[in-house]
Amino acid sequence: KKFVFMFDQAGSSEKELLGGKGANLAEMTRIGLPVPYGFTISTAACNAYFEAGQVISSQVEMQVIEALQTLEAKTGKRLGDPTNPLLVSVRSGAVHSMPGMMDTVLNLGMNDETVEGMAELTNNSRFAYDSYRRFIQMFSNVVLGLDNYYFERHLEDTREEKGYHSDTELTAEDWKQVIKEFKTIVLTYTKKSFPEDPREQLFLTINAVFDSWNNQRAVLYRRLHHIPGHLGTAVNIQSMVFGNMGEDSGTGVAFTRNPSTGESELYGEYLINAQGEDVVAGIRTPQPIASLEQDMPDVYQQLLETCQLLENHYQDMQDIEFTVESGKLFILQTRTGKRTAQAAIRIAVEMVRENIMDKRHALLRVDPDQLDQLLHHRIDPEHNLTKLAAGLPASPGAATGQVVFDADEAEVLSKDGKKVILVRPETTPEDIHGIVASQATITSRGGMTSHAAVVARGMGKACICGCESLKINLDSKQFNVESTTVKHGDTITIDGTTGEIFLGEIPMIEPELSDEFKLLLSWADEETKMGVRANADNSVDAQKALEFGAVGIGLCRTEHMFMDSSRIPTVQSMILSETMEERKEALDKLLPMQQQDFETIFETMQGHPITIRLLDPPLHEFLPDKEDLLIEVTKLQMKNADASELQEKQNILRKVRLLEESNPMLGLRGCRLAMIHPEIYEMQVKAIFNATANVMKRGIKVKPEIMIPLVSHVNELKEMRQLVNQMAEQAKDETGQEFDYQIGTMIETPRAALTADQIAEKADFFSFGTNDLTQTTFGYSRDDAEGKFLQHYVENNVLPRNPFVSLDQEGVGKLVESGVELGRKANPVLKTGICGEHGGEKESIQFCFDLGMDYVSCSPFRVPSARLAAAQATI
Ligand code: ADP
Ligand code: MG
Ligand code: MG
């Protein structure tokens, strides 16, 4: 088997085998660009190395030696030859680029003899010794595992002693001395002398570079970017070119376009008389690429042309590493450049305008996940920041405000025009008004799909969850992070995109949907075969949804309408009522409010479809907290308060206890609630039809899609369907209006998915509620799972991803798939969609598209990225 490939031998598009760096070096060699010659050891060899227990097989070893001989013949130099030594770099390079995460060694082949040869050959002993000490430093760090600090500290001492400001001032003699001391450092810390045999150096380094696939940084980077751990890295061995030969040499990095703004201009930095790692390590401040035009006009011109050529060749913005040796340009690497969302969009749009690619390709160039960045306020990156703490980045965007610890207070202060940030140990639905009123929310407990996070994201509000280092003291109204105390009223700034919390106020930059962004999304819509709807519970969200290009509402939750503080008393008296009469009375009061809610949403949506989900959460969520009540009762008793007041509180407490469930998530909620108390859904359905009739009279078409939550047996839906139809009949009689409506259900329990054929006979549409379906399929309670073990699972690869963020296609996805298939078989005109958090996530969207769903629905702020993802799924 072939494990080693010369740059001019490798076939094209073998990224899997050669890694990104190797494949592109081979490609550039074939194009005829000035690439120092070399060869690539494949990722397959890396995997074989690990399988054999971190041993390079003799087969690979032989192929490496053979390739080395080819390289020696081609360059006319030999590894270890004292009169004409070959020096090489040994470079990592994985399939997915992980810049700087793995290891590379330069100037390999240097020893006490070859350094003399180099000095003589180049007539430049300073250069030779500088290269040698660089090699000792890198090799010791990468291969021998010595901290670079020992060497840097020694260098610093030397500079100080000699009164130098930078390394370039060190003479050949100085370097000779440094090298001696470097070797002593190696001997002291490794108990072995520095290996002088170049072959030994080579194979030790190859081992080390393979090993660097599993170093901490690389593992973390892979986890963050969902790069699988089994791919392995290739190793590139390449003859050295020297940017440290003098004033007519140098090294640098160039982007073919500005990666921050997307502007079409050469963007980069370089250093004269230096080697590659100097630019990134920041030992010296590099110069802007523009001044290269003065320093080396010919090289600059050639670099410009090469950049153009590479960008056209790869049809994407390139990030290029180059080195100039005695006035001659060499290209050492090219890869697709990482960029901000803003830049990504501008580059995609301009590349279409410049006829470099067509629209469909341009759409694939932008990552939907990145678009979030564009829709929220951002911290001015130019500003200096002092970080206080960090939690889970639950909802992106940045915000500044005064710290408050109470939802009611947040509401009061914000009505006075104050900007506040709500800090809570955790949040419950009772805090929603506080979240609404605040600029942002921070919790010290709970994960990224906690209630607070879901709500905050829905509103496009920044939110940080599970910030464990915050020690909140609600009594003294302050929180501590280690020794820092932040008091009620103090100003802080948070970045929901990174999960960071800062002290004080930091200036913000306004988000705006650029014209280019809108244009790109309009191209997306031309391709899309699946609708993107939004989850919206009120007219403000509905308006946002339309603005962001949603084609309708896929999930209008009705419980949030009950949480308004002015309605809560009525809602509570409905729940607490002892008799049917009492309950009906309370419901009669809620009816006009609910009807008004629907009217404004219908009007806002101007005929676009709306799926309304009837009441879903357990009733106790609308009641006061038991502990709070208990305290109140005790206080009243102590005060010898008015008997009737005490009795009332006690009564509420009794009811709260009665409604208490040991597992509310699996208790009396959703359609089960309506099976026991049909009058609640009757009121809601009546409100829907009354609102429909009124809005239709104003000339707006409304075709409500009424959705029954949490069905697990067809009989539940059968009964609810009857209820809705009856109410429609009744409303028709009362208003004289004919209604065009649909009745559907959420598919959010495994049983519903497994019996979807039976259920589909009673449903006009299915909406897969993948949040609950994930909970019930895994048997995880989301709120408990995220904080307690899910993070551990993901970090330790027990689960590839958090299933509440990206749909678990193997498990939950199977249920969704069978749900769609069974449903369609029984009811060919069944409409299907998804409305969980997953509806806005690109991989889940692809999955829904592959199943032939009609639409996905997500929070309004995710609609733009979902539109792009839906287009990408189609292409
Ligand atoms: P990373 O993946 O961390 O960027 P590289 O393998 O690209 O690591 O190496 C880092 C730098 O070392 C490169 O940017 C380049 O400037 C320099 N370098 C690598 N190989 C050579 C070489 N053969 N000749 C000269 N410089 C090199
Ligand atoms: Mg590089
Ligand atoms: Mg649900």
Question: 323 in ligand 1 pocket by Cβ < 6 Å?
Answer: yes
Which backbone phi and psi does 824 adopt, to 5 degrees?
A: -65, -35
Q: Average pLDDT of the chain?
A: 91
Exactly one of 433, 451, 560, 677 is catalytic; name it.
Answer: 451
Distance from C-alpha of 317 to C-alpha of 365, rounded to nearest angstrom: 10
Distance from C-alpha of 707 to C-alpha of 670, rounded to nearest angstrom: 11
Distance from C-alpha of 553 to C-alpha of 860, rounded to nearest angstrom: 9
For ligand 3, the distance from its centroid to the CA atom of residue 721, given in whole angstroms, is: 18
- Pair type for strands 610-613 and 704-708: parallel
SS3 content of the chain, % helix, strand, coil (to 5): 50, 15, 35
> So what's the architecture of 242-339 in CATH?
2-Layer Sandwich (3.30)
Question: 490 in ligand 1 pocket by Cβ < 6 Å?
Answer: no
Cα–Cα distance list, 649 to 344, 585, 633, 652 (Å): 59, 21, 6, 5
Ligand nearest 319 Cα, by number?
2
282 band by pLDDT with thresholds 50, 70 and 90: very low
Residue 457: the pLDDT is: 65
Structure tokens that stand for 159 in this block: 């500079």
694 band by pLDDT with thresholds 50, 70 and 90: very high
Residue-range domain boundaries for the chain: 4-241, 242-339, 378-509, 529-618+665-874, 623-660
pLDDT digits (tens, 9 = 90+) for 715-728: 999 999 999 999 99
Residue 501: the pLDDT is: 95
Specify whether 858 is catalytic.
no
Structure tokens that stand for 489 in this block: 């009223």
279 band by pLDDT with thresholds 50, 70 and 90: low
Distance from C-alpha of 614 to C-alpha of 621, rounded to nearest angstrom: 16
More confident residue, 800 or 745: 745
Exactly one of 46, 463, 835, 848 is catalytic; name it.
Answer: 835
Q: Residue 283 above 60 pLDDT?
A: no
414 and 438 in contact (C-beta within 8 Å)? yes
Distance from C-alpha of 683 to C-alpha of 397, rounded to nearest angstrom: 38
Four-way CATH pick for 378-509: 2.60.40.420, 3.50.30.10, 3.40.50.150, 3.40.50.720: 3.50.30.10
Specify whether 465 is catalytic.
no
More confident residue, 8 or 794: 8
Superfamily of domain 529-618+665-874: Phosphoenolpyruvate-binding domains (3.20.20.60)
If one looks up domain 4-241 in CATH, what number appears?
Answer: 3.30.1490.20
Structure tokens that stand for 724 in this block: 């809705």
Burial class (CB in 10 A: 0-12, 13-18, 19+), 375: buried
pLDDT digits (tens, 9 = 90+) for 170-203: 999 999 999 999 999 999 999 999 999 999 999 9
Highest mean pLDDT among 450-459, 598-607, 776-785: 598-607
Please give the DSSP secondary-structure letter assigned to residue 566: T
Strand, coil or helix: 829: coil
**Lowest mean per-residue pLDDT among 30-39, 40-49, 267-276:** 267-276
Mutate to test the pocket of ligand 1, among 106, 141, 336 (most ligand atoms within 8 A of CB): 106
Question: 241 in ligand 1 pocket by Cβ < 6 Å?
Answer: yes
Q: Which residues contact 810 (CB under 8 A, 6 or more apart)?
A: none
**Lowest mean per-residue pLDDT among 64-68, 101-105, 672-676:** 101-105
